[in-house]
Chains A and B, each alone.
Chain A
Amino acid sequence: MADTATTLPPAHGAPRFDVRTILTRYGAWIALALLILVNLAITPNFATWQTLNVNLTQVCAIVIVGVGMTLVIATGGIDLSVGALMAIAGALAPLIFLGKLFLLPHPAIGVALAFIVPVLAAAALGWFNGWLVTRLRIQPIIATLVLFIAGRGIAQVFTNGNLQVFNLPSFQFIGLGRVFGIPFQAVLMIVIVAAAAWMLKRTVFGRQILAIGGNEKAARLSGIPVASVKQRVYLISGLLSGIAGLIVIARNSAADANLVGLGMELDAIAAVAVGGTLLTGGRATVIGTLVGALIIQLVRYTLLANGVPDAAALVAKAAIIVLAVWLQRQGRR
């Protein structure tokens, strides 16, 4: 009997090919494909490099932040502070390479530090979020609300709310540079997505994240260090927010603490939800988040390109989110 065990016919475990399952599992991909088809049919000049570039650059920061958000949500948490952390990183970088914070021995060092320090600062603040969640056992939504409120204020205080304009190609490579004609930020995004997807699937850490979100009690009883895993996840979310902040300011050649990353938490959560990650944790897909962000961006682009006002795109986005989450619930019945 033991020999045949693995080859036994699927008694009750066979995947049922009903519409619901397909919709919940591949809904995001189908939606993306449909959107592209619709655009090819109705939107003038859709199949051009320029369109691709425009959409990619719009979506990069959201996806990078969304990756961190996916991991946080996978553990059953949430991170509202991502936009504020972007603002902090975005405010710090110009202060550093413009030499306002301290004197620079050499401009190259300034640029290097302008990459390293803001990202580390954002990571440290992410770690702080994790500390509040795991040590003080504050609900994630409130714990990260603290930095959501204070974070942007900190960035504004740094810069006194002023716009910092700059022109520094070596720094701005992160937002404007191209590698073989592809925007560097898109390359960075794809690398981050691939790394996170790989990590979630192949590493101990990734499994632990999903195990905690899937059943925290069982995870604890299996010896998983729940607190330390959660802590690291918030740290990663902070770190990625920092990177996204740098991309945004580099792209704009200006840092405005009032605007960098504004509303980003919502966009990131929306991308995660539409991508098919379970909002209660335990099932996550980083690629899905990429697809989700692309869908939201493409809907907006489609509407704009066809003369529908931007505001209507907001309503469409809301409808997509509710629909995605509702479908997800149906699939779990």
Chain B
Amino acid sequence: MAPLLSMHGIDKRFAGIPALRSAELVVERGEVHALIGQNGAGKSTMIKILTGYYRKDAGEILFDGKPVEFSSPQDAQRSGISTIYQEINLVPYRSVTENICLGREKRRFGLLDWSAMHEEARALLARFKIGIDVRRPLMAYPTAVQQMIAIARAIGFEAKLVIMDEPTSSLDEREVGVLFGVIRQLKEAGVSVIFVSHKLDELYAVCDRVTIMRDGRTVQVAPMTQLSRLDLVTSMLGRELSQVLHEGHGMADAAGEAREHVLKVQNLSVGRKVSDVSFDVRPGEIVGLAGLLGAGRTESVRAVFGADRPDAGTIDFARRENAIATPSDAIRAGMGFCSEDRKLEGIIPDMSVRENLTLALMPQLARRGIVNEARSREIVDRFIKRLGIRCTGPEQRIRELSGGNQQKVLLARWLCMNPKLLILDEPTRGIDVGAKAEILSLIRELAGQGLGVLMISSELEEVVEAASRIFVLRDGRTAAELRGDAVNEQSVMTAMAHGHESAREAAHG
């Protein structure tokens, strides 16, 4: 019998940049299929093409033996493909019943038949062992229950294929157990599931086969049981074991050890994503923060910068403990932070390069509130030169610059403040290769001048090359601290895959 779904040779470009290159995905009937890959590997683009959210540039999709091209997620749903999104896409103020039945209401005499709809919602939720009052608004229930309701909604549509995009990110262990029970039920009923997750344990617990994507291509398809954790991570990150035995470089190590730390974070806990994270940075060293998506890296550094409020733990910066409550406190104390989302949290698109660059410095550039334009221009010119920012001039709007140059402007925004510590969250994301190298060498140069740098990057090669120490986070905890010779891709991957013990083994073995 033909597979339920087969996608072949899928191409997709966004503004000329390829997101998918001849990607493949084949899902058998009644199987749970894992789809994994790094950020930007193309898995969500793949799913969005399948569900009709995007249109493919080339390739073929066969569903249930017939070629299909859905025009919208609703269209896909009508054909039996339901999607559960990572963020709960429900309406918080409306009742549970409505959230389950919206779009396929039951009617009697032309009007909504509430009692039948409540009954249906209750019956559906019972399959998930959830007994709640379906008349109450969705927002009355915890996130985990809301997530289960979203799943129930999707499955209630009599789907042949259910796509789950990181469905467990807001569930606790017991709830994950229930969800897995439901997935097995679905499987028995002949329904296929595409399961997207970054939690390796879960993949092994529930998936039959796995498709691994990288840089828009399908790099490996195999039964789950044939791949070890390390194989998975290696394949995802695209490094061969033989070539990853990188020489850990202890440049700043010897000098760094002696100096007192500029930042020391202990037992930090923030919301659901970070439960016990510790790390530290010394002046003049680059410290890497590694981990799979959802490991709690960004959440940790945001708390350090005062952008989010930590629940517990100590943050010791420049020898003052927990003195930072807001970003302005952090900036005054000598910290800089480049967010991972350049567009949403970094640049001010309608402002010029100059205005963006001097945004944080402005109060210092001013006397009695009036900006000293001459000094501002001088500083901006200096940084444009020093960082090699390519623009028509300081007055060009930043939105017209390429990603790499925007990022340089944001780096300059902090560098002109003479910070003690610079936190960089994915500093090279979405940047072309040339600019990437420039930015990395710049970061190294800065550290050489005594700046402490804390860098998050999903690109392993990058972290290993730049950092003298690496903290690996896993499920909201510090899983390992790697230093010296242990700073190589293999030990980082091992730590991501298994946690502390094995990382040590890898480092020493």
Residues of A within 8 A of B (CB): 1-3, 5-6, 8, 10-14, 202-205, 207-208, 210-211, 214-215, 217-225, 278, 282-283
Q: A3-B385, A204-B363 are in contact. Are A12 and B402 (CB under 8 A)?
A: yes
User: Quick check: B373 and A223 within 8 Å, CB to CB?
Assistant: no
B200 within 8 A of A: no
What is the CA–CA distance of A218 and B397 in the complex, to the nearest angstrom?
A: 16
B469 within 8 A of A: no
Q: A203-B370, A204-B363, A214-B350 are in contact. Are A221 and B392 (CB under 8 A)?
A: no
B344 within 8 A of A: yes
What is the CA–CA distance of A324 and B376 in the complex, to the nearest angstrom?
A: 34
User: Quick check: A215 and B348 within 8 Å, CB to CB?
Assistant: yes
CB closest chain-A residue, reference B302? A221
What is the CB-to-nearest-CB distance from A189 to chain B, in angstroms, rounded to a whole number? 23
Inter-chain contacts of B349 with A (CB < 8 A)? 214-215, 282
What is the CB-to-nearest-CB distance from B347 to chain A, in angstroms, rounded to a whole number? 7
A-contact bits for B329-363, CB 8 A (1 contact / 0 none): 01110000101000011111111000100011011
User: Quick check: A283 and B350 within 8 Å, CB to CB?
Assistant: yes
Q: What are 27 of the A-B contact pairs (CB < 8 Å)?
A: A2-B385, A2-B388, A5-B388, A6-B381, A6-B391, A12-B400, A13-B400, A14-B392, A202-B373, A203-B370, A203-B371, A205-B369, A207-B359, A207-B362, A210-B351, A211-B348, A214-B351, A215-B347, A217-B345, A218-B344, A218-B346, A218-B348, A221-B307, A221-B346, A222-B331, A282-B349, A283-B350
User: Quick check: A219 and B348 within 8 Å, CB to CB?
Assistant: yes
Inter-chain contacts of B355 with A (CB < 8 A)? 207, 210-211
What is the CA–CA distance of A204 and B361 in the complex, to the nearest angstrom?
A: 10
What is the CA–CA distance of A14 and B332 in the complex, to the nearest angstrom?
A: 37
The residue among A5, A203, A217, A223 with the most chain B CB atoms within 10 A of its own CB is: A223
What is the CB-to-nearest-CB distance from A181 to chain B, in angstroms, rounded to a whole number? 33
B390 within 8 A of A: yes
What is the CB-to-nearest-CB distance from A277 to chain B, in angstroms, rounded to a whole number? 11
Inter-chain contacts of B347 with A (CB < 8 A)? 215, 218
Query: Could you say which of B345, B359, B389 contacts A5, with CB atoms under 8 Å apart?
Result: B389
Give the size range of B's interface with the partner.
35 or more
A-contact bits for B362-397, CB 8 A (1 contact / 0 none): 110110011101000000010011101111110011
Query: Could you say which of B327, B331, B396 contacts A13, with CB atoms under 8 Å apart?
Result: B396
B89 within 8 A of A: no
Inter-chain contacts of B366 with A (CB < 8 A)? 203-204
Inter-chain contacts of B369 with A (CB < 8 A)? 203-205
Q: Which 10 A-B pairs have the closest CB atoms?
A: A214-B348, A223-B331, A13-B400, A223-B328, A10-B392, A222-B360, A222-B359, A215-B348, A204-B366, A217-B345
Q: A204-B363, A208-B362 are in contact. Are A282 and B348 (CB under 8 A)?
A: yes
User: Quick check: B400 and A6 within 8 Å, CB to CB?
Assistant: no
Query: Could you say which of B327, B350, B363 contacts A221, with CB atoms under 8 Å apart?
Result: B327
What is the CA–CA distance of A12 and B402 in the complex, to the nearest angstrom?
A: 8
Inter-chain contacts of B332 with A (CB < 8 A)? 223
